Structure 1
Amino acid sequence: MAGTGGNVGARDIVRAGGRTGRRGRPRRVQRPSVETASNTEDEGSATGGNQNNNEGVFGSHEELMNWVQNLARSLGVVAVTKRSNKYPNGFVYKVVIMCDRGGKYKVKDSSKVSGTKKTDCPFELEGKYSIEYNSWTLTMICDEHNHPPVQHMEGHPYAKRLTDDEFSLVAELTRMNVAPRDILSILKERNLSNASTISTIYNARTKIRMSEQAGNSPMQVLMSILHSNGYVYEFTTTGSNELENLFFVHPISFDIWRAFPHVLIIDATYKTNSYNMPFVQIVGVTSTNKTFSIAFAFMQNEKIESYTWVLNCLKLTLDKCMHPRVILTDRELALVNACKEVFPNATQLLCRWHISRNIFKNCRQSIRSKFSSHLQHFEGDMDYSMMKNWDLCDLQFDSKGVRVLPPVGLRAGGFFPIPGDNLKTLEGSVRLD
């Protein structure tokens, strides 16, 4: 260590030089010898440099920067470009390198008080390109740091950056649908000094996606994906060539759907995309009671015509196959009527989860008041026992009331009359006609 207060000196950064240089007295920086380089985890070979060349001469700007950054990182500091000079054709002929903690924080006009890692570190190197020798030389301007080296590089944004090769690998693995955590593991296995975090991978994936979508709207990107990945899809457009309806099925889902066409579960959501188009998801059930996604659709509206178009597209995929026997939906009347029109022989059932939600929403207060009298000799309260486990309860209802059979382990339960003002709501929640 050179200087005072545990500062990192020039010989700690470059492992060479003998004397301690100071600002105003620049000197040539030499590469480490073969013996020294082998003791510093082969920094020269890692950057493609020639270890037999002990002078501070580099073949390119990239080679110089890689050598400095890798060596600095192994010693607990991060070297970054302070400024560079270029010829009119864009060729860089001079670069000034500084510590990432150099400079001063520029105070912004804000009431927010924020910290900074800047310590005005004076460390500085200078690289110049020689036209005569077609090479780069590295010169020390100031060799002192005013801060101790760090133990972990994960806290430095610059150290977390991906190299060009690593970025290309992330793009390739992303196209192969590899999970971000697995991508990070692969990068760290290939490069033990990699300081990237999971957020680095997510940011890289976002950058890749934005570059692929450049100049295209989200809907254009979706149509391109459907075409390039072999989806079965149909769409309609308006007179102004705007998307009206879109139906698509994944190739694998298409094969499973044709093998198990007996049961359909259909539900629609809205306000789930920037276009506010209703989104329909169609799910099937296998012979082992496992659900799988069949098809998806974007619709212009939730009217019978739109649902009929979606179901007709679904019906066309069942060429020479059995039509569904059971269709499960919520009480969306337009969807119910469309199902009757397209699949008239199918039995229609209402989703039990939606029934439970409707009873819970519209009859909760009534059930609460009736149920409270039964809790005097039971442990616990109603919200914890029955209401919290409402989805697990077995409901038996008629025009006069609801019988709630609680799940195993809960002793509360009973029959609860429904007030007249809630009876019509309940009947509408559980009846198709």
Structure 2
Amino acid sequence: MDDNHGDSSENQPQSQPSAFEQASLSDYGGDGVDYSPHFQTREVFPTYQAAVDWAREIATPLGFFLTNSSYKKQRNGLPINYMKCDRGERNRGENRDRENATRKNTNSKGCKCTFQISARCLRDMEGWIIKSKKGLKGMHNHPLMVYREGHRQVSGLSPAAKTLVIDMSSAAAKPRHIMAAVKEKFPNESPNKRHIYNVRSRARLDACEGRDVAHQFVHLANEYKYVTWINVDPDTCAITHAFLAHPEMANMLRTYPHVIGMDSTYKTNRYNMPFFELVGVTPTNQNFLIGYAILKSETYESYKWVLEKLQLYIGFEVAPNVFVTDCDWEGRTFCVGRIC
């Protein structure tokens, strides 16, 4: 009798793991909660977009976002569209060679989340309904959203906030002041400084009307009636030297030509080209900007080119008495030669 029973643990059937345990997915911190009941509704939506908007309004407060996934036809030929969690894509960084990669820390937020719902079209195109499945299709394998900042679908700036950013940028307001104004006027939005910078950058691009940086530079100089000389490399068609000055400053310099100060910044721009400034001084110790230039390099030839354009700008009958500069030997050597 004892032999018939044997080991009870061997005779008893093994318990089958749940669908969630059977999934060959990497767990990124999911809570194991089935969220499919939240999307069970009998409401018929007039359009597919109305169904998508309803589903996203349900998903966002729960802490995740829905994106359009795939499309196919039902047996009756009517369309069915799937929406999935925005982290449902594969993790593109899992098979990367991080040792030899140029950007080793680049990764994707995709973690193969299986949450999915569908929007099905009714017969005779009478509307759309939402369907959800329990189990794997209703669970997430990752933590849900805690803060709204930084999430593309809910953070950002509304059209009214973008208008405020553009207006304050036109008034030369700093980004931190713009951010404070946006948060005060639009408390329900969740922007960050990157949104402010993006709006400002987009506004500058729109103002260029399709022109690149060099053409916009020349366009603004002509629009405000600046006197310009531009030297271009014949091989690369890149700007090597540019001199700009306003005509009104020429009259000021002809009146007070006695002292000219000049100096250049140390490549503090995107193109690593020195920005060269020419400043005059009045008898009352007030400075005025004569003109400025963008140079390819701080060489004798560059300074020669700038001061030759300055002489054309003010006329040959005007001769400055003193040039004030720093210890840059190339510029000082040329200035001494010009004065002598």
TM exceeds 0.5?
Answer: yes
Q: Partner letter of residue 126 of structure 1?
A: S
Pair 1:123-2:115 in alignment = yes
Structure 2 match to 1:194: 189
Q: Partner letter of residue 9 of structure 1?
A: Y
Structure 2 match to 1:57: 45
Structure 1 residues 228, 158: CA separation in 2 closer, same or farther (over 3 Å shift)?
A: farther
Pick the aligned partner of 2:145 from 143, 146, 150: 150
Structure 2 match to 1:72: 59
Q: Partner letter of residue 298 of structure 1?
A: I
Query: 2:69, 2:84 within 8 Å by CA — same for their partners in 1?
Result: no
Percent of matched pairs sharing the same residue: 27
How many matched pairs? 294
Query: 2:63, 2:146 within 8 Å by CA — same for their partners in 1?
Result: no
Q: Partner letter of residue 247 of structure 1?
A: F
What whole-Å deviation, never above 9, does each CA across 1:286-325 have from its counterpart, x for those lacking one?
A: 7886767553213466565643442354456658xx9766
Displacement of 1:326: 4.4
Q: Partner letter of residue 280 of structure 1?
A: F
Query: How far apart are the structure 1 equivalents of 2:179 and 2:62?
Result: 22
Query: 1:81, 1:95 within 8 Å by CA — same for their partners in 2?
Result: no
Pick the aligned partner of 1:335 from 325, 328, 331: 331
Structure 1 residues 161, 261: CA separation in 2 closer, same or farther (over 3 Å shift)?
A: farther
Query: 2:32, 2:140 within 8 Å by CA — same for their partners in 1?
Result: no
Say which SS state the counterpart of residue 324 (structure 2) adopts.
Answer: strand
Query: 1:58, 1:137 within 8 Å by CA — same for their partners in 2?
Result: no
Pair 1:307-2:303 in alignment = yes
Say which SS state the counterpart of residue 310 (structure 1) adopts.
Answer: helix
Structure 1 residues 224, 95: CA separation in 2 closer, same or farther (over 3 Å shift)?
A: farther
Query: How far apart are the structure 1 equivalents of 2:121 and 2:248?
Result: 57
Query: How far apart are the structure 2 equivalents of 1:158 and 1:71?
Result: 13
Structure 1 match to 2:35: 9
Query: 2:161, 2:186 within 8 Å by CA — same for their partners in 1?
Result: no
Q: Which moved more, 1:329-338 or 1:140-149?
A: 140-149
Displacement of 1:267: 1.9
Query: How far apart are the structure 1 equivalents of 2:332 and 2:282?
Result: 23
Say which SS state the counterpart of residue 229 (structure 2) adopts.
Answer: strand
Query: How far apart are the structure 1 equivalents of 2:121 and 2:290?
Result: 62
Pick the aligned partner of 1:227 from 197, 222, 228: 222
Structure 1 match to 2:85: 99
Structure 2 match to 1:108: 95
Structure 1 residues 262, 275: CA separation in 2 closer, same or farther (over 3 Å shift)?
A: same
Query: How far apart are the structure 2 equivalents of 1:259 and 1:56?
Result: 81
What whole-Å deviation, never above 9, does each CA across 1:371-430 have from its counterpart, x for those lacking one?
A: xxxxxxxxxxxxxxxxxxxxxxxxxxxxxxxxxxxxxxxxxxxxxxxxxxxxxxxxxxxx
Displacement of 1:329: 0.5
Displacement of 1:152: 1.2
Structure 1 residues 341, 155: CA separation in 2 closer, same or farther (over 3 Å shift)?
A: same
- TM score, norm. by length of structure 2: 0.59
Query: How far apart are the structure 2 equivalents of 1:116 and 1:301?
Result: 42
- TM score, norm. by length of structure 1: 0.49
Structure 2 match to 1:179: 174
> What residue ranges of structure 2 are gaps of 5+ in the alignment?
1-29, 73-78
- Equivalent positions of 1:368-407 (< 5 A) are none
- Bigger relative contact order, structure 1 or 2 (CA pairs below 8 A, ≥6 apart): 2
Query: How far apart are the structure 2 equivalents of 1:132 and 1:291?
Result: 79
Pair 1:83-2:69 in alignment = yes
